[in-house]
Structure 1
């Protein structure tokens, strides 16, 4: 006779359930192991000993106090003070008063007059000269003499200057300027003529023309003859 097993008594049907229970139990054991707290007794003892060392150092620092410095004792006074007499005699110097009495009469033998020389500038610009140089034939007031001098110098340059020289030099068309500076010295002569021009030939021509100016009556500053600096611009057109 063959015996039959009850299907509920077969444990293979519960294999999955047993596996799940085992997994849950393993996870629980791992969790409890992680959450468990441990304390290191050695570290606690070292911390306590370190604190004790610091407390001892603080106590030692508080106990060491520097004694106050004592001031040096005052010098001992001598028992006997000796007085030394001066052997040399000092002669007093009497300072006499330099003030004169009202009743005293001062006699003056001679009065000498000293002429003080005024500093006069050797060369004065034409714009600030008091008395301008007088061109031959000019008359009138100071303003008229100044205007006459300028007009006569301009006429002289227009008559004597070779205007055809500019075209012969092959200069570009347009207005050309020559700047001339000269001095009318204390005697009224023309000296120190200088010129600046776009060409050397024009510069030489301007100097030649200015040197042909006639001798003038010299200008005066504070009533004395002085040299007068004069600036003369010359402009001409090249076609």
Structure 2
């Protein structure tokens, strides 16, 4: 048998009433709060003590009186000697010049001018007519004597020699730029030093030209 609540015990039907009563009471409390005078009855005043008045006296700046500088001392008189009178020398206007008489008081001759050293001729790298090896590179290769140390060690390769061909076609200052050692570098310089060239020319004149040659060492 199902139980049912009575109308007095069912509170859901009274919710709107309770809400309206609560809102009315809240509104009444707000009106009363705004009308109350919340200011304190007893008011107090802050009394400030009187401060002492300090008077600042203006200090008058004393003016410094500048003393005038003392007058300069009078100059000390200096005795000036009497002007000496030069006696007139007698000039012998009738004197004659002896041409045959040797001159003694002559200045020394100027030193001889030093001879200026002639500048060294310029060394060219590229000229209008390059030096020409007489006999070709084969003439140098024929002069090569294979070093015994290189033969025993089986050293082969190419030695690059750099040198200067002068105005007469001679080889000057040969140096090894890239070598292989075992005596081959020295033999390449010896063979190149004996080579002869037709000198290079610039503007029709023989000049010094820097060149490089490869010397090949190969075992047969």
Instruction: State the TM-score, normalizing by the size of structure 1.
Output: 0.39
Return the structure number with greater helix share: 1
Instruction: State the TM-score, normalizing by the size of structure 2.
Output: 0.42
Which of these two proteins has the greater Rg computed from alpha carbons? 2
